[in-house]
Every structure is written in structure tokens, then in C-alpha cells.
Amino acid sequence: MNAVVLLGPPGAGKGTVAEVLVDKGYRHVSTGDLLREQIRLQTKLGLEAKKLMDQGQFVPDEVVVGMIRSLMESSDMSAKFLFDGFPRTQIQAEKLDELLQSFSGKIDDVVLLECPDEVIVERLSGRRTCTKCGAVYHIKYNPAERRDGCDMDGCELMQRPDDNEATIKNRLHVYAEQTAPLISYYTEQGLIHPVDATMSIGEVRSAVLEKLG
């Protein structure tokens, strides 16, 4: 049970890159998507998480690690995970190492999507997401071809509640404080592959595929 980690600030394009890696046999695991599913189902966990997510704060480590543990326990030993938005704190990174070791696995690579704050603000303010299937678009860089909704299922596109200016600023602040230190953690282990995420979607995807060889 091995893993690749997609690391990078909110809106750097982790989900957009993950789409092509799924075709290469990776199992895409986005903790943001898992939490949004809990919100949709209106579970106790989802309702608690929503309050934090709407403010751009992190959900507690034990909640997120618990979700990943359950997922690993119910997965095939040959699974190749692609973690998007996890780990996000030092504790989560250490717990992930422990969990993978307990399944005789390890992290093979960490792809770091590097993107300055001003690009992120533009990407997140222009992001639109399908209310049904979660497909991600951008009003300028990746618009839906249909004028009235999602290209996949025709459903309405919406703006995520945490994609407003105040929450974006807070998410960037929390990233700098709590997640950016993981860059040194993984650099020391020789796992980091930096990618310039300011390039076009196609160029970023190709660069990531090249790094993962």
C-alpha cells in the first residue's frame, strides 16, 4: 500500500492534477471532498466540520486521520493512494507514515505545486463546481462548454462557500503556518518534487506526470 502526496496551497491545482493521475491507476483521496460528502449527508462530523471549513480553519487532526485510517483498512493492500489535501499538519504527516508502515507501505513521492498568493486568489475566486458530480471549472481558465451547467451532467455550477475573499486569505494564512513546514519534513526525506503550478493546466499536468515517471 504505497502513496503519492500532492502538497500545495489551496487552489494551486491539486484536484485538477489528480484527475489525470487517476487514469494512471492512482486512487484519488481528497480529504476536502470526504468532508464535503459528510456535510452533504448532514452527519454530526459534517456539521462540525462545516463550521471550521467555512472559516478556512482546519478540521481536527484526529477526525481527518480517523477517516484515512478507515479508508486504508477497507482497501486492497495493492492500492496506490494519491493524497490531495492530506497531510496538512506535522501530526497528520507522522500519523500517515505510521499508518502506511502498519500496512508495509510508504510514501513514494511528494509533488509540491508552487503557486504565489495572487494567482491563488484569482483561481479560487473564479472556481465553479458542479452541485451534483463535483467537477471543477474556472470561469476564465477552464470554463464549462455548456452555458447552462456542468459538461458531465448538465447540473448547476456553484461557488464553494469557502471561496470568498476573507476565507481565502485565512486559508492561505493557515497553510503558511501549519502546512508549509511539511515541505522541509519531506525534503529531508528526499521525497519532494517541486512543480511550477503557474503554468497552464496542460503544462502542469504534464510536468507532474514527468516527475512521477
Stretch that binds ligand AP5, among 70-78, 83-91, 98-106, 180-188 (CB under 6 A): 83-91
27 an active-site residue? Answer: no
50 is a site residue for ligand AP5 (CB under 6 A): no
> Total residues contacting ligand AP5 (rule CB under 6 A)?
38
Stretch that binds ligand AP5, among 14-22, 40-48, 102-110, 185-193 (CB under 6 A): 14-22
Q: Residue from 1, 3, 5, 11 that binds ligand AP5 (CB under 6 A)? A: 11
Burial 156-181 (b: 16+ CB within 10 A, else e): ebeebebbeeebbeebbebbeeebee
Contact call for residues 36 and 194 (beta carbons, < 8 A): no
In sequence order, what DSSP letters do the residues of 36-93 get, joined into one string?
HHHHHTT-HHHHHHHHHHHHTPPPPHHHHHHHHHHHHHTS-TT-EEEEES---SHHHH
Note whether 13 binds ligand AP5 by CB under 6 A: yes
Active site residue 36: no
Question: Which one among 99, 171, 186, 191 touches ligand AP5, defined by CB under 6 A?
Answer: 171
Active site residues: 14, 88, 127, 160, 171
